[in-house]
Structure formats: C-alpha cells, structure tokens
Amino acid sequence: MNDPITLAAKQHDDDRHGIPDPIAPDEPITPPMRTLLETAATCRPVEEVTALVSLLKEGGPLPDAGHDALRTAAVTRPVQDVRRMVALLGESPQEVAEADLTLRAAAVGRSIEDVALLVTILGKEDAAEAERQRRTPPAVPAVAPGAVFPAAPEAPYEAPYVPPYAELHDAPYQEPPRRTAAVDPPAASRVRALRHVLRWPVAAALLVSGALHLPNDLTALQSAAPVDYLPLLATVLCLVSGALVALRDTPAVWRAVAATALGVVALHVLGGSMQYDPLEGAVGGTLAWAGITVMLCAAAGAVLAGLALRNHRESSA
C-alpha cells in the first residue's frame, strides 16, 4: 500500500544511501551528468559548489539536480567544508531549504563522530553569535527634524537637608584648603631666559678682568712679597668664575661670581687708599684704560649676579 508512512520511510532510506530525490520522468539524470555533479561537489571549492546549486536552481534544465551535488558534498567533504557550505547557503533566504538538505544528508551519510563534531562546531558558532548580539547596543531610532517630544514631568521640589543645631555645634571645625599660587609657565620661562642672557656678559666681564690682572712675568713672583700674589689670585678667581657661569646656571655659581666681582672691586678700592696698584707688573699695567675697565667689569659682574640671584629666588618661590 502506498500510505504516507510507508512512502516517508522509503524516501528516508533512499536519502541515507545517497539516492537523490526523483526528478521529472522526462528529464532523468544520466550517468555522465551524475559523474559531473559528483566530481564538482567533491573537488570544487565550497563557494563554487554553492554557486552551482544556485545556478541549477534558477535557470538550468534540471532545477533539482543541485540537491544531488549537495548530498555528495555533505557526505564526502571534510566537516569544516560542510560547516562552511551550510553557512553560505544560510546567508540567502532562498537557499535555506538547501542548507537543511545538506545537514540532513550529513547526519544520515556520515559517521557518528563526524556528526558529533559538526554539532559541536555549529553550537559554538550559535553561542558566539548570540553573545555578539547581546553585546551589540540597540540601534537608536532616528529623530525627524522638528519632532516634538512630550515634556518630562517635573520632579517635586525637595528642600536640602540641614542638620540640627546640635550636630553643627558638635562637628569639628575643618579648615578650608589653602590655595597654592601656581607658577605661571610664561613667567618662569622669561626668568630662565633672562638668566641665560645674563650669563654671557657676566662671563665676558670676568674673563676681561682676569686677563688684565695676569702678571707679565710669573717667574718674578718667586721672590715677591705675599701682597704681590693678589693680582694672580684675582686672575685665577675671575677666569674660573667666568668659565663656571658660562657652563652652569645655579645659585651657587652666581654667588661665587658675585663674591669674585666684589673682591676685585674691594682690591682696587683698598689699593687706591694704600698707594698700591694691583695692576702693577700685570698685563694691564701698561694700559691707561685698564684700571677703569677692571672696575667697570667687576661692578657690572656684581650687579648682574645679584639680579640673577633675585630671579632665582622669585622662580623658586
């Protein structure tokens, strides 16, 4: 009898053995056509197999011939290719039936280990897709220009909480935080630039003063009195201080420069009152303008060093 249950059982048994669905009696699949479809389903890339199914379904003389290729590919190709083929077929709404046919063919014709592996792969992909959809924020609907929204209900006014007098009286007094004056970056940069400018004239003044105090004959100092060593000492101090201030910009260096310049001024002032010329026997002894030049250089060095020290204190305050 051709009852529905018997016919369904016969069709299921045919699918399990790789027998394709019956096609129109007047257009059967010939052996060369079957060989061509099986070879393409086995050797071609997965993308081309799915494209072949779509082409046969749309305009070929045998629209159901692609099902035979799908069954062959689902049974013979690796599990990863079957998963890829199902994913490609599922992307198009018109190919959902072909994706289901591929899964049924793989479930019937493959080993139970391959079926379990295919179920595991599909389960992981479904879980990953569900997690991605869960993390994706919902799309905000576009608002048309000029749309009018209902006004939000006004919240009832609540007076701020004021603690009782007892709590205010017992609470400890907290001193408000002090505001520290931030150093103005442009002002600090101007101070550093000023000190940088002052270094070079101070170094030049000290070097000139030291050179004018240099003795003409150093060998004559071996039999000279101790006071005759003062020009040589002034030369050493001026040269060292001038070199230091040209290399470094620190408060200690500026103090040494100021002390050296004041010492040279004091040497010449005291020498003038005691009938002692510090430049006698020195390089500047034969120059008429040497004395006034040394005094001017030493005085300018002391004044500029004091100005630099004041700028140091202002920048560090």
Could you list the pLDDT tens digit for every one of the 317 residues in the chain?
344 333 333 444 444 444 444 334 345 678 888 888 889 989 999 999 888 888 887 765 665 678 888 899 999 999 999 999 998 888 888 788 888 988 999 999 999 999 999 899 888 887 887 778 777 766 655 555 555 555 555 656 565 665 555 454 555 556 656 655 444 455 556 656 666 678 889 999 999 999 999 888 777 666 667 777 888 899 999 999 999 998 888 889 999 999 999 999 999 999 888 888 888 888 888 888 988 999 999 999 999 999 988 888 877 66
How far CA 39 is from CA of 11, 31, 49, 58, 81, in Å, comes to 24, 12, 10, 21, 15
Which pLDDT value is given to residue 134? 79
Angle subtended at Cα 254 by Cα 270 and Cα 226, rounded to the nearest 5 degrees: 35
Locate 177 and state its tokens: 């935080």
Which pLDDT value is given to residue 111? 92
Locate 289 and state its tokens: 């303008």
Cβ atoms within 10 A of the Cβ of 14, count? 13
Which pLDDT value is given to residue 206? 93
Nearest alpha-carbon partner for 254 in 189, 306, 314, 188:
306
Which pLDDT value is given to residue 177? 61
Which pLDDT value is given to residue 286? 83
Helix (H/G/I), strand (E/B), else coil: 222 = helix
Give the chain as a 3 state SS string: CCCHHHHHHHHHHHHHCCCCCCCCCCCCCCHHHHHHHHHHHHHCCHHHHHHHHHHHHHHCCCCCHHHHHHHHHHHHCCHHHHHHHHHHHHCCHHHHHHHHHHHHHHHHHCCHHHHHHHHHHHHHHHHHHHHHHHHCCCCCCCCCCCCCCCCCCCCCCCCCCCCCHHHHHHCCCCCCCCCCCCCCHHHHHHHHHHHHHHHHHHHHHHHHHHHHCCECCHHHHHHCCHHHHHHHHHHHHHHHHHHHHHHCCCHHHHHHHHHHHHHHHHHHHHHHHCCCCCCCCEHHHHCCCHHHHHHHHHHHHHHHHHHHHHHHHHHHC
Angle subtended at Cα 272 by Cα 270 and Cα 277, rounded to the nearest 5 degrees: 100
Which pLDDT value is given to residue 264? 93
Which pLDDT value is given to residue 22? 36
Which pLDDT value is given to residue 69? 87
Residue 282 sits at φ, ψ, to 5 deg, of -105, 180
Which pLDDT value is given to residue 51? 87
Which pLDDT value is given to residue 276? 86
